[in-house]
Structure 1
Amino acid sequence: MNQEVPQHAVVVAKFGGTSVADFDAMNRCADVVLSNPNVRLVVLSASSGVTNLLVALAEGCEIEQRTRHLDEVRRIQYAIVDRLTNPTIIRDEINNMLESIARLSEAAALATSAALTDELVSYGELMSTLLFVEILHERDVTAEWFDVRSVMRTDDHFGRATPDCAALAELTTNLLKPRLQQALVITQGFIGSEAKGRTTTLGRGGSDYTAALLGEALNASQVDIWTDVPGIYTTDPRVVPAAKRIDEIAFAEAAEMATFGAKILHPATLLPAVRSNIPVFVGSSKDPAAGGTMVCSSTANPPLFRALALRRKQTLLVLHSLSMLHARGFLAEVFNILARHNVSVDLITTSEVNVALTIDTTGSTTTSGSHLTSALLTELSALCTVEVEEDMALVALIGNKLSQARGVGKEVFGVLEPFNIRMICYGASSFNLCFLVPGQDAEKVVQTLHQNLFE
Structure 2
Amino acid sequence: MIVSKFGGTSVGTFQAMQKSAEIVSEDVDRSFIVISATSGTTNDLVALMSPELDSTAREAIIIRIKERHLSIIQKLGSPEKAEISFKEELTQLRQHLDQVARDKRWKDRLVSFGELMSTKIFIEVLKESGVDAEWIDAREILKTDSTFGNATPDRGMLKKNLQKRIETGKVYLTQGFIGSDVFGNTTTLGRGGSDFSAALFAEAINADLLEIWTDVAGIYSTDPRVVKAARPIKEITFDEAAELSVFGGKVLHPATLKPAIRGKIDVRVSSTSEPEKPGTLIVHESTEKPVVRALSLRKNQTLLTVRSLDMLHQYGFLAKLFQVLSDNKISVDLVSTSEVSVSLTLDTAVNASNKVELTIEVLEELREFCEVEIEKDYCLIALIGNSLTKTAGISGKLFNKLKDYNIRMVCHGASENNICFLANESDGESIVKLLHKEFIEL
Q: Structure 1 length as normaliser, TM-score?
A: 0.94
Equivalent in 40, 43, 63 of residue 71 of structure 1: 63
**Is this contact kept in 2: 1:311–1:393, CA < 8 A?**
yes
| Corresponding residue number in structure 2 for 1:23 | 14
Q: Deviations over 1:164-196 (max 9, x none)?
A: 111111111012x12x53x32111000011110
Of residues 143-152 and 278-287 in structure 1, the stretch that sits farther from structure 2 once superposed is 143-152
Question: What is the distance in 2 between the residues matched to 1:284 and 1:422?
Answer: 37
Q: 1:283 aligns with which of 253, 257, 270?
A: 270
Other-structure match for 1:400: 386
TM-fit CA distance, 1:364: 4.1
CA distance in 2, matches of 1:193, 1:316: 38
Matched residue, 1:386: 372
Counterpart in 1 of 2:314? 327
2:410 paired with 1:420? no
- Alpha-carbon distance between aligned partners in 1 of 2:104 and 2:301, rounded to the nearest angstrom: 25
CA distance in 2, matches of 1:114, 1:317: 32
Q: Does structure 2 retain, via aligned residues, the 8 Å contact 1:396–1:434?
A: yes
Query: 1 CA distance for matches of 2:402 and 2:336?
Result: 20
Verify: 1:345 aligned to 2:335, yes or no: no
Q: Which consecutive residues of structure 1, in runs of 5 or more, have no partner in the other structure? A: 1-9
Residues 1:103 and 2:95 aligned together? yes
- The match for 2:149 among 159, 163, 174 is 159
| AA partner of residue 377 (structure 1) | L
Amino acid at match of 1:157: T
- The verdict on how the C-alpha distance between 1:114 and 1:432 changes in structure 2, with shifts beyond 3 A counting, is farther
Say whether the 8 Å CA contact 1:361–1:370 is kept in structure 2: no
Question: Deviations along 1:76-122, whole A, 9 cap, x unmatched?
Answer: 100101111121222111011111112222333xx265321110010
| Residue type of the alignment partner of 2:310 | S
More displaced, 79-88 or 219-228? Answer: 79-88
Corresponding residue number in structure 2 for 1:143 = 133
| Separation in 2, partners of 1:36, 1:411 | 47
* Equivalent of 1:116 in 99, 102, 106: 106
Q: Is the 8 A contact 2:301 2:347 kept in 1?
A: yes
Aligned mates of 2:130, 2:235 — CA distance in 1? 36
The unaligned stretches of length 5 or more in structure 2 are none
Q: 2:42 aligns with which of 51, 61, 64?
A: 51
Which residue does the alignment assign to 1:257? 244
Q: 1:240, 1:139 → 2: CA distance?
A: 39
Contact 2:331–2:351 (8 Å) recurs in 1: no
Contact 1:114 1:159 in 2 (8 A): no
**Partner SS state of residue 280, structure 2:** strand
Q: Is the 8 A contact 2:21 2:129 kept in 1?
A: no
Matched position secondary structure for 1:362: helix
Cα deviation, residue 366, structure 1: 6.0
2:124 matched to 1:134? yes
2:330–2:356 contact (8 Å) kept in structure 1: no
Q: Do the aligned partners of 2:25 and 2:130 also contact (CA within 8 Å) in 1? A: no
Secondary structure, counterpart of 2:383 in structure 1: strand
The 10-residue stretch of structure 1 (321-330 or 145-154) with the greater mean CA deviation from structure 2: 321-330
Cα distance in 2 between the residues matched to 1:117 and 1:162: 17
Q: Distance in 2 between matches of 1:391 and 1:54?
A: 30
SS at match of 1:119: helix
Q: Look up the match of 1:3.
A: none
Using the TM superposition, give the Cα deviation of residue 237 of structure 1 relative to its aligned residue in structure 2, in angstroms. Answer: 0.8
Aligned length, in residue pairs: 440
Deviation at 1:452, TM superposition (A): 1.1
Structure 2 distance, partners of 1:57, 1:286, is 31
Q: In 1, distance between residues paired with 2:280 and 2:305? A: 39
Deviation track 1:321-344 (CA, whole Å, cap 9, x = no partner) reads: 122122222111111211221222
| CA distance in structure 1 between the aligned counterparts of 2:129 and 2:350, rounded to whole angstroms | 40
> CA-to-partner distance for each residue in 1:231-276, whole Å, 9 max, x for gaps?
1111111111111111011111101100111001111101111011
Q: Whole-Å Cα distance in 1 between the matches of residues 327 and 333 of structure 2? A: 16
Residue equivalent to 2:288: 301
For the residue of structure 2 that corresponds to 1:41, the secondary structure is strand
Q: 2:361 corresponds to which residue?
A: 375
How many percent of aligned residue pairs carry the same amino acid?
45
Relative to 1, partners in 2 of residues 1:261 and 1:185: Cα closer, same or farther, differing over 3 Å?
same
| TM norm structure 2 | 0.97
Aligned positions of 1:88-237 closer than 5 A: 88-108=80-100, 111=101, 113-175=103-165, 177-178=166-167, 180-181=168-169, 183-237=170-224
